[in-house]
Amino acid sequence: MTWFSPEGVVWTPASPRLIPVRLITATAYFVVPAAAAVVASLTLHRNFWWVLAVVVVLAAWSAWITVRVVHAHGWAERDDDLLVRRGRLVRRVTVVPYGRMQYVEVTSGPVERAFGICSIQLHTASPGTDASLSGVLASDAERLRDRLTARGEAQLAGL
């Protein structure tokens, strides 16, 4: 046993559609420097091609990281709590009891919507609770949210 994965827990992985969504979002950070490097190399000095090379390498590296991180992300519904696992380099599993959930928030940005996924964020009374699910299929999200809310209400405890 090298990492936290209790027996009998069935993990739901994040949808692979999250990969293109993350990549598209990340592209925004690389397009501008890459374009600037291209323009500079054409107009100023040809050594600016090196800058472009660095940008491309960085982009490729972050793409690889994105793929790994998305594969590492997942969640599992247990009887009394929800497990959320994320991270590859820094691994983290959060255990959120249903009875502690204050509210559940479903969000989806324009890119996420285009790929038919959304994010679900769970809030407890603690600012430290870091439990968000990314890459939830839109078709599952409603049901998951309702299930979480129902379980939360059934087990709700005072602070």
Nearest to 77, CA basis, from 3, 146, 12, 14: 12
Binding region for other proteins (CB under 8 A) out of 13-21, 23-31, 69-77, 98-106? 98-106
Interface positions, 2-21, toward other proteins (CB under 8 A): 2-4, 6
Smallest distance from the beta carbon of 48 to other proteins, in angstroms? 34
Out of 12, 41, 62, 94, the residue judged to bind other proteins by CB under 8 A: 94
Of the candidates 16, 50, 126, 143, which one interacts with other proteins according to CB under 8 A?
A: 126
Helix/strand/coil for 18: helix
Residue among 96, 133, 136, 144 that touches other proteins (CB under 8 A):
96
- Terminal Cα-to-Cα distance of the chain (whole angstroms): 34
User: How many Cα atoms sit within 13 Å of 123 on the Cβ side?
Assistant: 6
Do 77 and 70 touch, CB atoms closer than 8 A? no
Pairwise CA distance, residues 116 & 2, whole Å: 34
**Which residue stretch of 37-45, 69-77, 96-104, 138-146 sits at the interface with other proteins (rule: CB under 8 A)?**
96-104
Q: Give yes or no for residue 68 binding other proteins (CB under 8 A).
A: no
- The answer to whether residue 81 forms part of the interface with other proteins (CB under 8 A) is yes
Site residues (vs other proteins, CB under 8 A): 1-4, 6, 80-81, 87, 89-97, 99-100, 102, 124-131, 155, 157-159
